[in-house]
């Protein structure tokens, strides 16, 4: 485990945000915070005067995420940067029947409606129908590697596949791909960076405006001439409910799904290949026993959460562990720490396919009413990619010299900066 000097830890435990260095490598810091108190109150409140708690115990994190009434996800007015009134409606000239929050921050009835809209997208039968298309696209990307015996996995694969999958599942037109890639880049480069330039801000605003315009065109077209796709059925469901098409609420909703299915999936794939490439003995084992790939995915998700933490707002004074949390507090629910809580996961730092806990104890995909709707899809994609890599290459190793596994600086996502693979092309023979 990484060492963090006591001084540095004491200093950092006084307030949020924690330093950039700790954000990049948070695990030792989180473990020390948990040892001190699994529900640690920072000395200083945030800029808006709200008490800030860092929650690092698995049980405490799971409790908070499972109690939506007590701990909501609407942070407007409680955290800087989450002011809803500052975000304009995409089409202010058109009335909307719904709150403008994207599903992640929605609560109560508004969340129930948006959750229902989302759940329609990812059913078992839809995932099964998409599977051959996702396999074919995975194969195409791997074919493009040709006989190369090295691969820049992010640039040649894991940064590309998620948008291609969104194209498959939402039946997006070709013109959507560059728009989504621009939004993706804008989010990655501007995420909470106080130093972003006016040009970057304008670029980001334009990328989002283009995405909303595209979403509106698709919604209007598919409402007028419905097909069997998700966007047609989303438009129909909403019109049956409200009487007229709500291009604001549905464009925001589609953007939420696109956001959910992009960076997190790319990071997940990058971590899967990093873990695989570092373990030649495991590659052999997974080829011989492909049924273990699910456990391999669980361990990768446990140790490498693409979203290291979530924020919640305490709505009602509530007891969590030994603490009575005052209403108005902000809870930083650190899945990166919860997933390594030794009380739940013995020898938490070791990568083991033998763990017996139920998969939902891993909090990487959330818990409670906001738990990730894309989970079955993400797991299916992960399994396809691992299977295809193992069947195509008899050896996959990490080029440790060129790879940079420490993530880029982001307070929102974790993704290894550079994953360079060394590939052995002799056929390996797992059934695909």
Q: Where on the chain is the footprint of ligand HEM (CB under 6 A)?
A: 73, 103-104, 115, 118, 256-257, 260-261, 264-265, 268, 306-307, 310, 364-366, 370, 372-374, 377-378
Q: How near is the Cβ of 364 to ligand HEM at its closest, in Å? A: 5
* C-beta of 151 vs 380, nearer to ligand HEM: 380
CA proximity to 168, closest of 230, 107, 218: 230
Number of neighbours of residue 343 by Cβ within 10 angstroms: 11
* C-beta of 277 vs 334, nearer to ligand HEM: 334
End-to-end Cα spacing for the chain: 36
When CB distances to ligand HEM are compared, the closest residue is 374
Q: d(Cα 293, Cα 385) in Å, to the nearest integer?
A: 11
Residue 388 corresponds to which tokens in the numbers above?
A: 């295809």
Q: d(Cα 204, Cα 198) in Å, to the nearest integer?
A: 10
Q: How near is the Cβ of 373 to ligand HEM at its closest, in Å? A: 5
* C-beta of 90 vs 256, nearer to ligand HEM: 256
Q: Are 375 and 294 in contact (CB under 8 A)?
A: no
Q: How near is the Cβ of 21 to ligand HEM at its closest, in Å? A: 23
Nearby residues of 22 by Cβ (< 8 Å), 6 or more positions away: 4, 8, 12, 29
* C-beta of 336 vs 378, nearer to ligand HEM: 378
Nearby residues of 126 by Cβ (< 8 Å), 6 or more positions away: 169, 230
Q: How near is the Cβ of 339 to ligand HEM at its closest, in Å? A: 11
Q: How near is the Cβ of 200 to ligand HEM at its closest, in Å? A: 26
Q: d(Cα 152, Cα 402) in Å, to the nearest integer?
A: 9
* C-beta of 117 vs 393, nearer to ligand HEM: 117
* C-beta of 264 vs 338, nearer to ligand HEM: 264
Q: d(Cα 3, Cα 346) in Å, to the nearest integer?
A: 20
* C-beta of 66 vs 221, nearer to ligand HEM: 66
Q: How near is the Cβ of 54 to ligand HEM at its closest, in Å? A: 17
Q: How near is the Cβ of 3 to ligand HEM at its closest, in Å? A: 28
Q: d(Cα 71, Cα 366) in Å, to the nearest integer?
A: 14
Question: CA-based diameter of the chain, in Å?
Answer: 64
Q: How near is the Cβ of 375 to ligand HEM at its closest, in Å? A: 7
* C-beta of 38 vs 256, nearer to ligand HEM: 256
Q: d(Cα 230, Cα 331) in Å, to the nearest integer?
A: 35
* C-beta of 394 vs 412, nearer to ligand HEM: 412
Give the H or E element holding residue 54.
Answer: strand 52-55
DSSP string, 187-247: HHHHTT-TT--HHHHHHHHHHHHHHHHHHHHHHHHHHHS--SSHHHHHHHHHHHHHSS--H
Q: How near is the Cβ of 380 to ligand HEM at its closest, in Å? A: 9
* C-beta of 320 vs 365, nearer to ligand HEM: 365
Q: How many helices (H) and strands (E) does the chain have?
A: 17, 12
Q: How near is the Cβ of 321 to ligand HEM at its closest, in Å? A: 20
Residue 366 corresponds to which tokens in the numbers above?
A: 């959330």
């Amino acid at each position: 485990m990484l060492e963090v000097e006591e001084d540095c830890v004491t200093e950092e435990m006084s307030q949020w945000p924690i330093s950039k260095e700790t954000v990049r490598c948070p695990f030792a810091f989180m473990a020390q915070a948990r040892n001190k108190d699994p529900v640690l109150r920072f000395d200083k409140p945030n800029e808006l005067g709200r008490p800030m708690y860092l929650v690092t115990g698995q049980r405490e994190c799971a409790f908070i995420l499972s109690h939506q009434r007590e701990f909501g996800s609407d942070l407007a007015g409680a955290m800087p940067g989450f002011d809803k009134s500052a975000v304009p409606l995409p089409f202010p000239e058109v009335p909307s029947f719904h709150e403008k929050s994207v599903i992640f921050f929605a609560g109560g009835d508004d969340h129930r409606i948006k959750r229902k809209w989302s759940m329609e997208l990812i059913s078992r039968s839809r995932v099964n129908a998409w599977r051959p298309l996702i396999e074919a696209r995975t194969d195409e990307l791997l074919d493009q590697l040709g006989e190369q015996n090295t691969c820049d996995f992010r640039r040649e694969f894991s940064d590309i596949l998620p948008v291609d999958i969104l194209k498959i599942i939402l039946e997006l037109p070709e013109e959507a791909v560059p728009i989504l890639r621009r939004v993706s880049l804008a989010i990655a480069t501007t995420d909470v960076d106080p130093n972003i330039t006016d040009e970057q801000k304008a670029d980001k605003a334009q990328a989002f405006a283009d995405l909303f315009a595209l979403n509106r065109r698709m919604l209007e077209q598919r409402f007028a001439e419905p097909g069997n796709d998700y966007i047609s059925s989303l438009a129909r469901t909403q019109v049956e409910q409200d009487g007229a098409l709500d291009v604001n609420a549905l464009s925001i909703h589609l953007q939420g799904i696109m956001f959910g299915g992009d960076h997190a999936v790319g990071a997940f794939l990058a971590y899967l290949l990093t873990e695989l490439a570092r373990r030649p003995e495991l590659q052999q084992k997974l080829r011989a026993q492909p049924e273990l790939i699910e456990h391999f995915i669980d361990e990768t998700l446990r140790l490498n959460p693409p979203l290291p933490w979530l924020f919640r707002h305490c709505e009602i004074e509530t007891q969590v562990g030994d603490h009575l949390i005052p209403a108005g507090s902000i809870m930083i629910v650190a899945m990166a720490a919860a997933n390594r809580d030794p009380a739940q996961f013995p020898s938490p730092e070791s990568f083991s396919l033998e763990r017996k806990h139920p998969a939902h104890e891993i909090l990487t995909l959330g818990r409670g009413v906001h738990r990730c709707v894309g989970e079955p899809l993400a797991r299916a994609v992960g399994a396809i990619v691992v299977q295809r890599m193992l069947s195509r290459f008899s050896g996959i190793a990490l080029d440790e010299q060129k790879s940079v596994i420490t993530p880029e600086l982001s307070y929102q996502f974790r993704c290894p900066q550079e994953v360079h693979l060394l590939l052995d092309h002799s056929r390996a023979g797992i059934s695909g």
